[in-house]
């Protein structure tokens, strides 16, 4: 058995861990061992010396991310066990199919692997560390992926330059941990639609996998509608709208590079289809300048307006302004799919911002669906912070 360093908590600071919340805040710690290093595996004990959990230590507000509430080693077999559990869940609910080779295999705390994200694109796994402990473990994780996913994974790309604390004494260079040959297909298949993925330079791991189910719902709403896909990124919602029989699809994003990839993705699936067009433009400007009644289905999927608690007020104003612009322009009887992926904004707060926008517009608005993140982005019930994506489907008369 490995002798891990021990951290003791101050009196009464053990309650949240006893309820299986996987974070130890720095203020809860009584004392740190002298020789502790960021990324170390540590054992956490209550003031009365009761064992609470084992996890990764790093400097910061969240000092320890718990990986197990049982005493155990954090070794190759630990990662294999957790990855196997994660894979079996996805496989058992039908997410792993030849016509859907794109899914999130590991969603941090939701899969009891705090600090780790793994997205699968066919034979490629993109691994993203959000904690130094996971950075230190990256080779163990790549090896475990190979064991658990057997021959279905040939390439493992590590993409953590943008997700690790820049002050940490590490050098997380983005690079392949396994494979990486030039034959690697840069196309992901989601519900039988093909998407080019730029995992090296793209946002997140290259694609917004979390909108898969919401895109399917949009497909069902698209027939004979004029669809405006605002914040289209690489064209996820646009492709589903095209397949759903939309009369017209317009994708808008401020990133010219994203719009270019979106255009390629539409071409990849539908060839030169005259129903589709795109524009590289600012959302607020586009919505302000477009005529009334031009669209009867508008998707609003902006980036997180609030990345921390201090930004919540301004973000709520941003959601209100954005939704108001859409309420003012959408045609009578039209549909709006509106989202927020800001983790610090609650479902209620988001709904209230949309409500305020509706009230100012004076239009009648019905909530048809309340949307969330899909099952491959699970929320650990003891870690409600894992819930981040919320959406509303509205009918506006
Ligand atoms: N709906 C997309 C994901 C959207 S991510 C999908 O399903 O894949 C958010 C996008 O908003 C990014 O592509 C970013 O370039 C774009 N964006 C950010 N600010 C913007 C603005 N002011 N106007 C238009 N697009 C913006």
Residue 256 beta carbon below 6 angstroms from any ligand 1 atom: no
Q: Is 1's pLDDT higher than 70? A: no
Alpha-carbon distance of 290 to 277, in angstroms, equals 15
Angle at 65 between CA 59 and CA 66, to 5 degrees: 145
- Rounded Cα distance between 232 and 278, Å, is 9
Which pLDDT band, with edges at 50, 70 and 90, does 95 fall under?
very high
Q: Is the predicted pLDDT of residue 32 greater than 70, yes or no?
A: yes
Is the predicted pLDDT of residue 227 greater than 90, yes or no? yes
- CA 137 – CA 134 distance, rounded (Å): 5
Q: What is the pTM of this model?
A: 0.96
Task: Please report the pLDDT score of residue 171 as a whole number.
Answer: 86
* CB of 265 sitting under 6 A from ligand 1: no
Q: What is the DSSP letter of 375?
A: T
Is 255 near ligand 1, meaning CB less than 6 Å away?
A: yes
Nearest Cα residue to 292 out of 325, 322, 331, 323: 331
Radius of gyration from C-alpha coordinates of the chain? 23
Q: What is the pLDDT of residue 250?
A: 98
Q: At 168, list the tokens.
A: 């940490």
The mean predicted confidence, pLDDT, of the chain is 96
Report phi then psi at 215, rounded to 5: -65, -40
Determine how β-strand 102-107 pairs with β-strand 116-121. antiparallel
Looking at residue 119, what DSSP letter applies?
A: E
Would you state the pLDDT for residue 198? 87
Q: What's the confidence (pLDDT) of residue 184?
A: 73
Which pLDDT belongs to residue 9? 98
Ligand 1 atom nearest the C-alpha of 208 is 8
Inform me whether the pLDDT recorded for 131 exceeds 90. yes
Compute the distance between CA of residue 39 and CA of residue 48 in angstroms, rounded to an integer: 25
pLDDT band at 199 (very low <50, low <70, confident <90, very high): confident
Q: Give the mean model confidence (pLDDT) for residues 169-194.
A: 87
- Pocket of ligand 1, candidates 257, 303, 337: which has the most ligand atoms within 8 Å of its Cβ, to mutate? 303
What is the predicted pLDDT for the residue at 181?
Answer: 72
Q: What is the pLDDT of residue 79?
A: 98
Please tell me the predicted confidence (pLDDT) of residue 118.
98
Condensed to tens digits (0 to 9), the pLDDT of residues 66-75 reads 999 999 999 9
Residues with active-site annotation: 341
- What's the mean pLDDT in 224-250? 98
Task: Give residue 183's pLDDT.
Answer: 66
pLDDT band at 150 (very low <50, low <70, confident <90, very high): confident
- Give the Cα separation of 120 and 116 in Å (integer): 13
Q: In this structure, which residue's CA is closest to atom 13 in ligand 1?
A: 233
């Amino acid at each position: 058995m490995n002798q891990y360093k021990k951290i003791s908590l101050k009196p009464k600071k053990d309650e949240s861990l006893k309820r299986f919340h996987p974070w130890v805040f720095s203020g809860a710690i009584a004392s740190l061992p002298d020789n502790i290093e960021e990324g170390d595996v540590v054992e956490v004990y209550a003031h009365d010396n009761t064992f609470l959990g084992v996890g990764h230590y790093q400097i910061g507000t969240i000092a320890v991310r718990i990986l197990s509430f049982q005493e155990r080693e954090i070794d190759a077999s630990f990662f294999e066990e957790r990855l196997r559990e994660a894979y079996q869940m996805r496989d058992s609910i039908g997410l792993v199919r030849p016509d859907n080779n794109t899914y999130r295999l590991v969603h941090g705390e939701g899969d009891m692997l705090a600090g780790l994200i793994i997205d699968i694109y066919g034979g490629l796994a993109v691994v993203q560390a959000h904690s130094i402990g996971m950075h230190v473990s990256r080779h163990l994780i790549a090896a475990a992926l190979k064991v658990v996913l057997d021959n279905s994974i040939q390439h493992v790309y590590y993409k953590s330059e943008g997700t690790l604390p820049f002050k940490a004494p590490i050098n997380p260079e983005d690079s392949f941990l396994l494979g990486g040959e030039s034959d690697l297909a840069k196309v992901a298949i989601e519900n039988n639609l093909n998407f080019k993925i730029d995992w090296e330079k793209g946002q997140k791991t290259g694609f917004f996998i979390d909108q898969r189910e919401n895109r399917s719902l949009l497909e069902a709403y698209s027939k004979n509608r004029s669809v405006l896909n605002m914040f289209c990124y690489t064209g996820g919602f646009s492709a589903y709208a095209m397949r759903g029989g939309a009369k017209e699809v317009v994708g808008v994003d401020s990133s010219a590079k994203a719009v270019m990839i979106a255009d390629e993705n539409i071409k990849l699936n539908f060839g030169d289809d005259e129903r589709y067009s795109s524009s590289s433009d600012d959302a607020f400007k586009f919505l302000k300048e477009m005529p009334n009644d031009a669209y009867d289905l508008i998707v609003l999927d902006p980036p997180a307006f609030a990345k921390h608690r201090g930004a919540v007020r301004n973000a709520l104003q941003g959601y209100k302004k954005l939704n108001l612009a859409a309420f003012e322009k959408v045609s009578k009887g039209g549909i709006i799919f509106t989202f927020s992926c800001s983790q610090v904004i609650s479902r209620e707060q988001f709904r209230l911002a949309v409500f305020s926008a509706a009230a100012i517009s004076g239009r009648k608005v019905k909530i048809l669906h309340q949307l969330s993140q899909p099952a491959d982005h699970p929320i650990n019930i003891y870690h409600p912070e894992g819930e981040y994506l919320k959406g509303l489907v509205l009918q506006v008369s």
